[in-house]
Amino acid sequence: MAAALIDVALLTGLAVILGLIVGRDSVGRSSSTAPSIWVSLSVFGVTISGLWLLVYWALVLLYYFALEATIGQTVGKRLLGLRLSTVDGGRPSTSAIAERTLLRALVSLAVVLTAVVALFAFSAVSVESVRSYRGNGVSFDYPGSWRELEVRSLGSVGDLDDLWSVAMGVGGLNAVKVNAYRMRTAVTTDNLDAATAEVEAAVRRGYAQVGGAVNTGPEQITVGRKPGVQFHSTRSVEGVAVERTDVFFFDGTTEYQIACQTDQEKAAEIGQGCDQILRSFTLDPVYTVETSQLSTGPMPSQELSGGPMASQELLWLATIGALHKEIDDNFGTPGFDSEYYQSDIASLTSALRTCSRELAPSVPPNARLQPVHDLIKQACQQHDKGVECLSTAVKEWNQPTFTEQRFGELLDCGLAAHQAGSKLLTNAEVKGHEITETVPR
């Protein structure tokens, strides 16, 4: 064993030398891409790939065959005074040494293939085990095997003003929908019981109207450090019996609803995903209650009277900075070099979508802030280009034809689009500051 370790150390040194001559630095963004598993070897920060990897393995086999066939010893065996011999103490034939070398090659190949299969099996389970949603002033995790779905009604309760909705799941009847509503009165500890009673009445009335039933609830629950209640119900959707959990919690005049709906077949998966969303749900501290209520529809225009900035205008400008920071925080330092995994690329894609999803639709309160909004729209166009590149990388990731070069091109495209959009958002913030400074105080 000691002799084998000495030989391995020598061959590792050979790999490093060869890598320094013909390889490349492996501590880079592309060293972790899936395609490189098949065609590269990374040792002490250098990588040998392609034909040079074949050359290296040929040198390894030649090392063992040449030394054992000529002097009966590798360097490790010689240092420890060992020598190959037959059962009767004779010297093995060249053909026996060749068979021994071939066997060594087959064993090494089997070990490598086993490791690759295990790595891909692990990746299929763990690389996308968790995805994250960040937007609309909230964040939460959900299963990596899920996808964002087109928002369709899972049923709502009460007569509230919709703010935003997102949905994710496996499709069909099996989904979790997150809604935010604007209430007419803020919920505090003083009126929490009254608000709970109103929600309960609305929930029971809503299920009665569709022939469903509330089985349990209201049960007290805390989500994102905010007080709330949950209900467990059953109903029929398109002739299929479904189970549903509705969770309501409050932040000032904003009411959040998380509706988890599943049929019997997917009950365990949707239940676990629903619990994951509830546990990880966080309200962004940058967002105030008023920020989350910022309308994305047309706002009443104010005449350019040359008066001071209104609170609505200042709030709109502050939202730009908050969302800009939220996007950039996902990318770290511009131009940094790091390893990327499929789940990382998916997160970056989601971050870039924030621009078109939240910033672009939020129209300015009046015409004097229109130049700011024009810059925002230009920024979102750049970010949309990045979304296209990065989402393509996610889609092609596990395809056999997805090469390291292809990944690098798509990643460069996404990062460049982010930087271009970020500069335009910075220009928008500067323009907003300039406008603020030119109006009377």
- In this prediction, residue 261 has a pLDDT band, given cuts at 50, 70 and 90, of very high
Q: By mean pLDDT, which of 17-21, 24-28, 193-197 is the weakest?
A: 24-28
| Helix orientation angle between 342-354 and 404-438, rounded to the nearest 10 degrees | 30
In whole angstroms, what is the distance from residue 313 CA to residue 432 CA?
A: 10
Per DSSP, the chain holds a count of helices (H) and strands (E) of 12, 12
Q: Decide if pLDDT at 178 tops 70.
A: yes
Average pLDDT over residues 186-204: 85
In whole angstroms, what is the distance from residue 169 CA to residue 88 CA?
A: 69
Q: By mean pLDDT, which of 137-151, 247-261, 355-369 is the weakest?
A: 355-369
What is the amino acid identity at position 395? K
Higher per-residue confidence, 75 vs 439: 75
Please tell me the predicted confidence (pLDDT) of residue 46: 55
The matching CATH number, chosen from 1.20.120, 1.10.3470, 3.30.70, 1.10.490, for 305-441 is 1.20.120
Architecture per CATH, domain 127-293, reads as 3-Layer(aba) Sandwich (3.40)
Q: Decide if pLDDT at 125 tops 50.
A: no
The residue count for the chain: 441
Please tell me the predicted confidence (pLDDT) of residue 323: 83
Q: Decide if pLDDT at 410 tops 60.
A: yes
Q: What percent of the chain has pLDDT over 90?
A: 12
Average pLDDT over residues 402-409: 85
Average pLDDT over residues 162-180: 86
- In this prediction, residue 32 has a pLDDT band, given cuts at 50, 70 and 90, of very low
Please tell me the predicted confidence (pLDDT) of residue 126: 43
**Pairing between β-strand 282-283 and β-strand 46-49 as defined by DSSP bridges:** unpaired
Q: For residue 35, is the peptide bond before it cis, meaning its omega torsion is within 30 degrees of 0?
A: no
Provide the 3-class DSSP secondary structure of residue 307: coil
- In this prediction, residue 170 has a pLDDT band, given cuts at 50, 70 and 90, of confident
What is the amino acid identity at position 190? D
Q: By mean pLDDT, which of 203-217, 257-271, 279-293, 375-389 is the weakest?
A: 279-293
Higher per-residue confidence, 251 vs 295: 251
Q: Decide if pLDDT at 260 tops 90.
A: yes
Please tell me the predicted confidence (pLDDT) of residue 338: 46
Rounded to the nearest integer, the mean pLDDT of the chain is 77
Q: Decide if pLDDT at 387 tops 50.
A: yes
- In this prediction, residue 28 has a pLDDT band, given cuts at 50, 70 and 90, of very low
Please tell me the predicted confidence (pLDDT) of residue 177: 92
- In this prediction, residue 382 has a pLDDT band, given cuts at 50, 70 and 90, of very high
Q: Of 68, 73, 64, which Cα lies nearest the Cα of 105?
A: 64
Give residue 45's region: left, alpha or beta (phi > 0; psi -120 to 50): left
Please tell me the predicted confidence (pLDDT) of residue 39: 44
Q: Of 57, 55, 97, 89, which Cα lies nearest the Cα of 73?
A: 97
Q: Decide if pLDDT at 258 tops 90.
A: yes
Q: Decide if pLDDT at 7 tops 90.
A: no
In whole angstroms, what is the distance from residue 401 CA to residue 137 CA?
A: 39
Please tell me the predicted confidence (pLDDT) of residue 14: 79
In whole angstroms, what is the distance from residue 414 CA to residue 408 CA?
A: 10
Q: Decide if pLDDT at 230 tops 70.
A: yes
Buried b (16+ CB within 10 A) or exposed e, 306-318: eeebeebbeebbb
In whole angstroms, what is the distance from residue 347 CA to residue 414 CA?
A: 12
**In whole angstroms, how far apart are CA 399 and each of 269, 272, 340, 404?**
26, 29, 17, 12
Please tell me the predicted confidence (pLDDT) of residue 275: 92
Average pLDDT over residues 293-322: 61
- In this prediction, residue 305 has a pLDDT band, given cuts at 50, 70 and 90, of very low
Please tell me the predicted confidence (pLDDT) of residue 119: 59
Higher per-residue confidence, 367 vs 307: 367
Q: Of 309, 311, 193, 175, which Cα lies nearest the Cα of 243?
A: 175
Q: Helix H segments across 156-288?
A: 192-209, 267-280
Q: How far apart are the first and last CA of the chain?
A: 82
Residue-wise pLDDT tens digits, 67-109: 888 888 888 888 888 877 777 777 888 888 888 888 887 887 7
Contact by Cβ (8 Å): 168, 190: no
Q: By mean pLDDT, which of 7-21, 221-235, 290-304 is the weakest?
A: 290-304
Residue-wise pLDDT tens digits, 417-429: 999 998 998 898 8
* Domain extents in the chain: 2-126, 127-293, 305-441
Q: Decide if pLDDT at 222 tops 80.
A: yes
Please tell me the predicted confidence (pLDDT) of residue 115: 67
Count of Cβ atoms closer than 10 Å to residue 246 Cβ: 26
- In this prediction, residue 176 has a pLDDT band, given cuts at 50, 70 and 90, of very high
Please tell me the predicted confidence (pLDDT) of residue 17: 80
In whole angstroms, what is the distance from residue 163 CA to residue 46 CA?
A: 51
Here the tokens at position 47 are 């990588």
Provide the 3-class DSSP secondary structure of residue 425: helix
